Structures are given as structure tokens and as C-alpha cells.
Amino acid sequence: MAMETLTRDVPSSMQHHNNSSVSNMKHSYVQLSKTCLDEDAQINKKLPKELLLRIFSYLDVVSLCRCAQVSRAWNVLALDGSNWQKIDLFEFQTDVEGPVIENISRRCGGFLRQISLRGCQSVGDGSLKTLAQCCNYIEYINLNGCKRITDSTSQSLSQYCKKLLSLDIGSCSMVTDLSLKAISDGCPNLTSVNISWCDGITENGVEALAHGCPKLKSFISKGCTRMTTRAISCLAQHCVKLEVVNLHGCNNIEDEAVIKLANNCNSLKYLCLANCSLLTDSCLVSLAEQCYQLNTLEVAGCSQFTDIGFLALSKTCHLMEKMDLEECVFITDSTLFHLAMGCPRLENLSLSHCELITDEGIRHLSTSTCASEHLAVLELDNCPLITDASLEHLINCHNLQRIMLYDCQLITRNGIKRLRTHSPNINVHAYFAPVTPPPSTGNSRQHYCRCCAIL
């Protein structure tokens, strides 16, 4: 009976999933099965249903499904909706189809608060409409990579799920502005949205979202090439509580948009502007003047930034923990000097392809408070002026866990060996090109290396 119910309600991979946690519990389940096949087993008689349900509430999906096979009593307990308030089906994505979602929806009802269907490409609008109708109190839903869903899903969520707080529709290629318009109309409490790689979304959808969801704290739109300065300016104007903004690859964004964010959203903590190549130091200066709580700044590929912008940031953004400055090709050792003095909490710093950085900049960094107490990751790929002297300086960085040194041609194996001698737990990523063999002697015949033969 229990197996029939389980087979009907969940994909087969849930029944036979072999992850490590389940393997460790397998023996225990066998013993429990022997004890609990009897409906009058002591554990069922001694403990009240409420306490058993509380114990079951700590189990994951796989464990609940296994428990449902132990006995009729446990089947009822395991499949009780109160145990399915938070569901993540990512590990079963290839097996999850519409009927599974519909069965789960009917079982969970008003108990369900969070569900992740990330990567479940077989799930469509019809199943998600059932989910929305049955689970009115859902707050978090992740549909990232569910490529079959359309605007119809967002319209169902808007109609039935008024308490929705977080929506992830990243990589849902058939979603358009109509989805954001629907969410703005029906979900005024939304605090987080991810629309990354949704090519059908334009500034019109973002403006509708901004007007209807003023409580928004997180806005992620990686790869949305149709995003505009006007859209982000509108978002900044109406969603002043924003703390997380990711505009990676939105290469039409100009300084005006970031300045508007800085002026209106003073609680900003995480900002990604990677590959927004039109931006200049003006927007960094505005961030420095307004956003003192900023702790993560990712600006890889912003090739117009210079020491001037990072000098301004170092004077006020003292909570900075992570900075990705890859391919900020105009920065020099001056930036490192000021970051060393002004950002004592810095843990993760990427300077890859910053070709003007030298050993002197690394020396300043290594003597700072952040280096001695916090710096854990340092990326220096393709910094051609860095030598073994920099590695000597980094010996002072006692918490350094990983350093990237690809294509640093002046770094030697001996330099890395000395660093590892002082810091044996450090993870060094480096590449050394094969040595060209010396020309042969004593033979008049010309020899070519294999590469030359191929060419």
C-alpha cells in the first residue's frame, strides 16, 4: 500500500536515490522497518502523532519517501502536508513531470512555503497553475531553467499567490514583460526576483515591476542585454530598499543608472556591474558618497574605471569584503595602496588581467590589516609584472587559502615552493608552459618540435 502511494506521488529516482546521507541511514531504516511493520509497534503507541510529525519534519524529501514505505502509519505521517513546507526537487529534475507537481500540490496545500523546481524542464504551465491554486501561501518559488513555462505561470502566481516573496524565472526563455506586469499586479510583497537570461524582458517589464513591488530588495538580471538605463533608474526610484543588484552583462547601462541607484538605495550591499563597459569613475564616486554598507563590488570588464574611482570607494566603503576588478586595465598600485588602508575586511580580491599591478602594490596589500586577518582569495592571473617578490610579501597573509597565478610569466616554481613552505595549506593555481627542448648537436639533419611539424 505504501509503495503504491509513493510510486503514484513521486518520481522513481526519489525511491532509489543513492546520495551519501541516505546510504548512511539505510541500515537504520531496515531496522525500523522490522520494528514498525506492525501497526502496534511501541514507537507508534508511545509517542503522540504531533511529536512524530515534529520528528518527521526534520527529514529531507528522500528520507520522507523512504519512511513512507515502512508501514501504513508511517506512510500517513511521512506524506502529511505539514512535513512538506520546503521542497527542493533539483536532484530529481530529469524525472519530475507535471503529474508529480500536481500530486505534491494537492498533498501540501496551504502548508507549502518554499519549492525549487530548478532545471525541471518537463514541468509546464498547467502543473504550475495547479500548484498556485492549491498552495496559496507559497512564499518562495524557483523555476530557473524551466524552459517550458510561459507568462501563463506568472499570471497564475499573481492570481492565487498573494504572499509571494521570491520568484526566480532565470533562463525561462519564453517569459516576457507580461510576466513582470502580472507579478506587479498581484504580488505587492515581492522582495526578490531573478530574470537572468530572459531575452523577452525589456525596460517596460522592469518599470511595471518597479511600480508594483516597492518592497523589492534583490534584483538579478544577468545577461539581459535589453536592459536600459531608463529601466534601472525607474527601479532605483521606486524600490529604495534594494540591497542586491546584479546587472552582469547589461552592457547598455550608463553612469546615470548607477548614480540613481547610489542616490536612492543607500542600503545597497551587493552590486555587480561586470561587463557594463560604458561605465566610468563617476558612478564609483557616487557609490562612495552614498552607499557606505556596500560589501561586495563586482566590476570585471569595466575597462574605463581608474584609480580615481577606487580611491573614492576606499575612503568610505570600509565594510568591503569582496572586490572583482578583473580587466580593470587602467588601475595601478595606487588602487591597492588605498584599498589596503580603507578596506580592512577585504577577503576576496581579483586583480586578474590588471597588467599595471606590480610587486609594490602587492607589498602594500600584504602589510595591511585585511591581509593579515581576512584575505583568503587573491587572483592575479595574467599580471605580467608580478614576480616571486610578491609571493614573499604574501607570506604575511596568514589566512590566505587560494591564489591564482595563471600566465604570470615572472613567477617561478621556486617562488611557489617557498610560499607553500610557509603556508602549507594554501591552494596555488599556476601554469608553466613546457620547456622547449634544446637543439640537438652532432647531427646535420634539421629537427623540428612536434608543434612545428603540425603547423
How does pLDDT run across 159-207, given as a tens digit for each residue? 999 999 999 999 999 999 999 999 999 999 999 999 999 999 999 999 9
Once rounded to an integer, what is the mean pLDDT over residues 88-101? Answer: 90
Amino acid 64: pLDDT: 84
Please state the φ and ψ torsions of residue 427, each to the nearest 5 degrees.
-105, 110
- What pLDDT does 18 receive? 42
450 pLDDT more than 70: no
- Residue 150 Rama label (left phi>0; alpha psi -120 to 50; beta): beta
- What are 7's three cell numbers? 510510486
Average pLDDT of the residues in 268-283: 98
> At 40, which amino acid appears?
D
pLDDT over threshold 70, residue 453? no
Confidence (pLDDT) at 388: 97
CA–CA dist 445, 122 (Å, integer)? 64
Q: Which has the higher per-residue pLDDT, 19 or 228?
A: 228
pLDDT of residue 359: 97
Task: Report the pLDDT value the prediction gives residue 441, as an integer from 0 to 100.
Answer: 53
pLDDT at 21: 44
Using DSSP's 3-state secondary structure scheme, residue 332 falls into coil
**Quick check: 332 pLDDT over 80?**
yes
Residue 13 pLDDT grade (very low, low, confident, very high; cuts 50, 70, 90): very low
Cα 248 from chain centroid?
12
Mean pLDDT (whole number) for 62-78: 85
Find, among 372, 268, 374, 267, the residue nearest to 322 by Cα. 374
Instruction: Give mean pLDDT, residues 396-402.
Output: 92
Report the range of poorest mean pLDDT among 132-146, 290-304, 318-332, 361-375.
361-375
The pLDDT of residue 3 is: 30
pLDDT of residue 140: 98
C-alpha cell at 36: 514498525
In this predicted structure, the answer to whether residue 378 has a pLDDT above a threshold of 90 is yes
pLDDT score recorded for residue 288: 98
Least confident of 5-9, 203-207, 235-239: 5-9
The three grid cell numbers given for residue 353, joined into one nine-digit string:
588581467
DSSP E strand boundaries for 117-239? 140-142, 166-168, 192-194, 218-220
pLDDT higher than 50, residue 269: yes
What was the pLDDT predicted at 434?
A: 65
Residue 8 has pLDDT above 80, yes or no: no
pLDDT band with cut points at 50, 70 and 90 for residue 437:
low
In this prediction, residue 436 carries a pLDDT of 60
Does the pLDDT at position 30 exceed 50? no
- What secondary structure, in 3-state letters, does 241-276 show? CCCEEECCCCCCCCHHHHHHHHHHCCCCCEEECCCC
- pTM of the prediction? 0.85
- With a CB cutoff of 8 Å and minimum separation 6, the contacts of 343 are 314, 317, 318, 320, 323, 370
Listed residue (167, 174, 172, 159) closest to 191, CA to CA: 167
Q: Mean pLDDT throughout 115-134?
A: 96
Higher pLDDT pick, 129 / 11: 129
Rounded Cα distance between 26 and 448, Å, is 61
Q: How confident is the model at residue 65 (pLDDT cuts 50, 70, 90)?
A: confident
Mean pLDDT of all residues in 43-60: 81
